[in-house]
Structure 1
Amino acid sequence: MDRELQAPIDPSVAKELKAGDMVYITGTIYTARDAAHKRMDEALSDNKELPFDIRGNLIYYMGPSPAREGRPIGSAGPTTASRMDKYAPKLLDLGLGGMIGKGKRSKEVIDAMVRNGAVYFAAIGGAGALLSKAITSSEVIAYDDLGTEAIRKLTVERFPAIVVIDSNGNNLYETAGAAYRKK
């Protein structure tokens, strides 16, 4: 089913989403990759605040290329989500509403998603130039010294993604593979 979503995501909306749903996200999302996740983890260990309110928000695992003239951002494709798996459960327990990336997630991340009613979306790898067209603004808000891995606040309009793992732990990577093997 196709769904229009507003970000940040309301927990009741997250619970309605099902693995396999196509969504179009409008609103504010944040980018963070490996180095930014490490810094956020260190901040939490030092009892410091995160650079943005994590509750209900979506983190897009992406490091953009430089913006062309007249554009807010360059190519903006997803990166492999499993590299953030050691940090994700803690962020989910703090209220992270969901994540956008590509690839499989660990059992620990899926358990934390179910425990907290969060969702994992996949963006299409290799389509970074196309995905960037859904981004209307981009602003570095933290860890500028990390370059492309800095945390950015993005405004998106109808950003396309697929619900891969829903808040009940249903995993499209597993169910789609099983359905294909039956055929």
Structure 2
Amino acid sequence: MEIKLNTPFTKEALKDLKPGDNVLITGYMYTARDAAHKRLVELVESGKELPIDVKGACIFYVGPTPAKEGQALGSAGPTTSYRMDAYTPALLDLGLMGMVGKGKRGPEVVKKMVEHGAVYFAAIGGAGALISKKIKTSEIVAYEDLGAEAIRKIYVEDFPATVIIDSKGNNLYELGREEYLKWKKEE
């Protein structure tokens, strides 16, 4: 069963999600990768205002290809999330509630996620062309000079993702490994 979620996220909306839950997200998200995250955190550290409102927001770690005619964006496959780990805790402290990418997250990120009730989702790597069909609008809102890595505000409808780390810190990658080892031992 897929769970429908709407952005902006709230702690209440995310609190019952479990690792492995499949979700369909509708609403606005931001796209950003490591260069944009670095700039955002530099602003935070200097006490300046961010060009985006991260409170309740979901950031999709993606550097999409240019849009073809009739599309909001081109291929939009997730990028490796740990590249944002140095910057993510500061954004979680400002109210970021969701992140979409692929791969593991570091312990400091998970600790901050639990502290703030945030969730980490995975999108399917290699399915960027299919994912882009769920993106209905796209507008560059910051750092246009970064090209594909500029921050975009996108509107998504039924964007498919899987809960990897829930708001309590339970991690599908760890749980899945434990389950596999248990199954292997019984074999």
**TM, length-normalised to structure 1:** 0.98
Alignment RMSD: 0.7
- 2:43 & 2:93 partners in 1: Cα distance? 16
Is 2:112 aligned against 1:112?
yes
- 2:92 & 2:41 partners in 1: Cα distance? 12
- Using the TM superposition, give the Cα deviation of residue 16 of structure 1 relative to its aligned residue in structure 2, in angstroms: 1.5
Aligned positions of 1:18-33 closer than 5 A: 18-33=18-33
What amino acid is aligned across from residue 3 of structure 2 in structure 1?
R
Q: Partner of 2:63 in structure 1?
A: 63
What amino acid is aligned across from residue 146 of structure 2 in structure 1?
L
**TM, length-normalised to structure 2:** 0.96
What amino acid is aligned across from residue 57 of structure 2 in structure 1?
N
Aligned positions of 1:1-183 closer than 5 A: 1-183=1-183
Q: Which runs of structure 1 show a deviation greater than 2 angstroms over 4 or more consecutive aligned residues?
A: none
- 2:88 & 2:82 partners in 1: Cα distance? 9
- For the residue of structure 2 that corresponds to 1:16, the secondary structure is coil
What amino acid is aligned across from residue 105 of structure 2 in structure 1?
R
CA contact (8 A) 2:60 2:78 kept: yes
Larger radius of gyration: 2
- Using the TM superposition, give the Cα deviation of residue 47 of structure 1 relative to its aligned residue in structure 2, in angstroms: 1.2
Instruction: Answer with 45-54 or 127-136: which moved more.
Output: 45-54
Count of aligned pairs between the two proteins: 183
What amino acid is aligned across from residue 42 of structure 1 in structure 2?
E
Give the gaps of 5 or more residues in structure 2. none
What amino acid is aligned across from residue 68 of structure 1 in structure 2?
K
What amino acid is aligned across from residue 60 of structure 2 in structure 1?
Y
Fraction of identical pairs, as percent? 61
